[in-house]
Structure 1
Amino acid sequence: MSDTVNETKRPSAPDGDVLHQLSTLDRFLPVWIGVAMVVGLLLGRLVPGMDDALAAVEIGSVSLPIAIGLLIMMYPVLAKVRYDELGHVTRDTRLLGTSIFLNWVLGPALMFALAWLLLPDLPEYRTGLIIVGLARCIAMVLIWNDLACGDREAAAILVAINAVFQILAFAVLGYFYLQVLPGWLGLEQAALDVSVWGIAKSVLVFLGIPLLAGYLTRTLGERAKGRDWYESRFLPKIGPAALYGLLFTIVILFALQGGTITSRPLDVARIALPLLVYFALMWGGSMLLTKALGFDYQRATAVSFTAAGNNFELAIAVAIGVFGVTSGQALAGVVGPLIEVPALVALVYLSLWARRFYRERTTTPTDTTAGADR
């Protein structure tokens, strides 16, 4: 997702105007995505031979222009992660364990179930949504968490954990949910030419390269200018590039899929339905679980938005790398951010309303390991 909000900014009050605390780019993200879709459809009709032009130079199975767009889309997101805080989370085993369970056990399983339940006759879109469920949120959650007055430091730690965990686990889990589990459950899965290496290669290219670049950028930038300069001056400058890369990718996808989309307009609505149900169940279930475990509001919010969000940039990249730019899997990934932004903005408002049912923290906001918060 785009990453244009200054990380040092906090909502002025719990009941503040959430929409106006988003940057202009983020506030109107669904509008920009809609415009990109229209532009792509028009290009598909007006520019003949686009398929051949895009396939002229490829990286693996992905055309060079799209590969560049995907890498640009991922880099600002990963440059924002505070990698030096990874070690802190080991002191709070309940926070870490709850987040890992929600993100890497419940989240993928829930999306798998919703995809099969609501899209039994659309295997390509179903597969695309399962890939979305495996791509855990690694940056945009910081914006939603801030707007909901959650624990910023805890959210940053969980984001860093997710970024690293995706490198290690995405390919194996992808193969399990796409190939192994349907067989175990006796589901009639359409034949898929998917291997662990095929998924891992896309993850390594489109997450590994920008992850390394983001890590080096933050390390060298903070060493040269300090964290305050890096987060208040540098990140806001590179943040919009994530949105531009996403919009460029959407334009190309819709240019190549224009015929399919215009002939089956209800498909987009059917893809959106399981996403909406997923956001509601993941966020609501996470808030209830964290309350039952005795988390304060700030940490409950950080854990819940981390669990509810998804890394659509990675999902789109993997879908394109494994199944191709004109695949239904790629289209399912593109629909994701169109639905996510308004859905999670609504959940921010709901979170602020639900704050009255949680205890407030009793320690300083930076004390991410205090026993009083557990």
Structure 2
Amino acid sequence: MKGEQIGLFEKYLSLWVILCIIMGVAVGYYIPAFPRFLNRLQYAQVSLPVAVLIWLMIYPMMLRIDFSSILRATRELRGLTVTCGTNWLIKPFTMYIISSFFLLGVFSQLIPPELGREYLAGAVLLGAAPCTAMVFVWSSLTRGDPAYTLVQVAVNDLILVFAYAPIVAFLLGIGDIRVPYDTLILSVVLFVVIPLTAGYLTRRRLLSTRGPEYFQEFLAKFENVTITGLLLTLIIIFSFQGSVIIQNPLHIGLIAVPLIIQTFLIFTLAYLWARAWRLRHSVAAPAAMIGASNFFELAVAVAISLFGLNSGAALAAVVGVLVEVPVMLTLVRIANATRNKFPQE
């Protein structure tokens, strides 16, 4: 993304999310026939309306990824080491530990054990998926190197294809949460591999036949499609969650606690690691932002596929969306305030 100003839609994403939560809960509570009707539109336990919306969320992101840029990463391998090491060797496991501590321990008197395990599953699905879209906004706001941010995202996406399913299956197994491995792999294929391939082929085709200017115009058509798809998905999810939310409104805040702590922890670890290695701030800030932020679109999609629209896992993944923007904007301010702690560009 170009420029250094976050768009109005993105800036107030948490507000739109809250409004969609209210709308979804109201629909589910006052018009129960609506979620019952949507529940019939399934194939192989996948909600067809939600699948379409999730594709609308993920496909535009994949269009932006230039995998040829990975070749340029050899210029600054330490930045890639920071982001990949944090995202894949630390983040999923700290998310599991922190979420287990709160959801199954500290809050055990407020959250039933079975529901707590579902919330933990949603948190794990978030923790194993580093950001691929909004990170371009955070990078821009911290004056990050856009080319190198693209490299970092591209490399993480390639790792995601192969590492997401095994890590999630391992951590959910530790938590005694039974997940069919084939269903998890199918979810990754549906919501990562296929849109990633479609985005790559579309990008390559348009650039070779129509040129970069037309491709940028094509991208502009999807400007708000991702967030619109997300908000519509939230309305559907919360129409299924209506009675649960009304009976347990406190759960939203309880789920948010470990997610917020995890976000600050991962940012701090990656940011201090980058400072210890004396990386440029324009590389260090995006490297920390990728790990701190989550690919919540994927987490929501997989949670729905594995556990269902009305599951605690889907709810926990959605709470990740709710806290994302205000927390990340706070981290942007921290990164900008500490710019002078890093080597000059």
Alpha-carbon distance, 1:86 to partner: 2.0
For residues 312-323 of structure 1, what are the structure 2 equivalents within 5 Å?
312-323=296-307
Alignment of structure 1 residues 155-304 onto 2, 5 Å: 155-179=149-173, 182=174, 189=175, 191-231=176-216, 233-304=217-288
Instruction: Provide the residue aligned with 1:370 in structure 2.
Output: none
Shift of 1:195: 2.8
CA contact under 8 A between 1:77 and 1:239: conserved in structure 2?
no
Map 1:308-347; keep pairs closer than 5 Å.
308-347=292-331
Secondary structure of 1:36 counterpart: helix
What is residue 79 of structure 2 aligned with on the other side? 95
- Which secondary structure state, in structure 1, belongs to the residue aligned with residue 144 of structure 2? coil
Structure 2 letter corresponding to 1:222 = L
Residues 106-163 of structure 1, C-alpha deviations (whole Å, 9 max, x = no match): 1111111111111113111111101100011112101101110111111100111111
8 Å CA contact 1:115, 1:126 repeated in 2: yes
Shift of 1:228: 4.5
Q: CA deviation at 1:91?
A: 4.7
Q: What is the one-letter code of the residue matched to 1:55?
A: N
* Pick aligned residue for 1:138 from 118, 132, 153: 132
Please provide the CA RMSD for this pair: 1.5
Task: Give the structure-1-normalised TM-score.
Answer: 0.86
CA-to-aligned-CA distance 1:304-339 (integer Å, 9 cap, x gap): 111211100000000000111110000001111110
Shift of 1:63: 1.5
Distance of 2:263 and 2:215 partners within structure 1:
32
Query: For residues 241 and 139 of structure 1, what CA distance do their matches in structure 2 show?
Result: 12
Equivalent residues, number: 335
Aligned counterpart for 2:11 among listed residues 21, 27, 32: 27
Using the TM superposition, give the Cα deviation of residue 90 of structure 1 relative to its aligned residue in structure 2, in angstroms.
4.0
Q: Could you tell me which residue of structure 1 aligns to residue 112 of structure 2?
A: none
Contact between 2:20 and 2:234, CA under 8 Å: does it hold in 1?
A: yes
- Normalised by the length of structure 2, the TM-score is 0.93
Deviation per CA, 1:259-283, whole angstroms, max 9, x where unpaired?
Answer: 0011111110011111111111111
Would the aligned equivalents of 1:41 and 1:258 in 2 still touch at CA under 8 Å? yes
Higher helix proportion, which one? 2
- The question of whether the paired residues in 1 share the 8 Å contact of 2:79 and 2:284 is answered with no
Q: Distance in 2 between matches of 1:320 and 1:241?
A: 20
- C-alpha distance in structure 2 between counterparts of 1:127 and 1:275, whole Å: 12
Q: What displacement does 1:215 show?
A: 1.1
What is the CA distance between 1:243 and its match in structure 2? Answer: 0.8
- Give the match for residue 150 of structure 1: 144
Asked whether the equivalents of residues 2 and 140 of structure 2 are also in contact (C-alpha less than 8 Å), the reply is no
Q: Kindly indicate whether residue 122 of structure 2 is the aligned counterpart of residue 128 of structure 1.
A: yes
Structure 1 residue runs without a partner (length 5+)? 1-6, 12-20, 183-188, 362-374
Instruction: Please say if 1:71 is aligned against 2:55.
Output: yes
Q: In the aligned structure 2, how far is the partner of 1:283 from the partner of 1:192? A: 28
* C-alpha separation in 1, matches of 2:214 and 2:153: 21
Structure 2, unaligned stretches of length 5 or more?
Answer: 109-115
